[in-house]
Amino acid sequence: MMGEERKAEKRKRPRTCVGCGEESPKRELLRVIRTPEGEVRYDPTGRANGRGAYICRCRECLALAKKRKALSRALKTDVSEDVYENLLTLCTDEKREA
């Protein structure tokens, strides 16, 4: 019913992709964090400590985020090429088997 739906919505707050700016349930986005040590990395658990940013598992959003430095802005730190490379391997939209 409506009431229940609304409650669930509140509990599972949608996250916004830093690439396309669209909201998605947390599960479908990659969580990238800046650790207290200042390292930027993918957080597979979704629960690691640190400032987090979310991005869709798709190349397009990654490319957009990179171009606009959206990830750097969201995390308030520089995001190295390595991080993007790593995230690219986690994209599910265009899987290329080696």
Token representation of residue 60: 């397009």
Q: Which of 84, 89, 87 is nearest to 30 (CA)?
A: 87
> In the complex with Zn ion, which residue's Cβ is closer, 39 or 60?
60
β-bridge pairing 29-34 and 51-56: antiparallel
> In the complex with Zn ion, which residue's Cβ is closer, 40 or 61?
61
Query: Which position among 19, 30, 70, 75 is part of the footprint of Zn ion (CB under 5 A)?
Result: 19
> In the complex with Zn ion, which residue's Cβ is closer, 9 or 60?
60
Are the CB atoms for 62 and 90 separated by under 8 Å? no
Give min distance, CB of 2 to Zn ion, in A: 28
Contacts to Zn ion from residues 22-81, by CB under 5 A: 56, 61
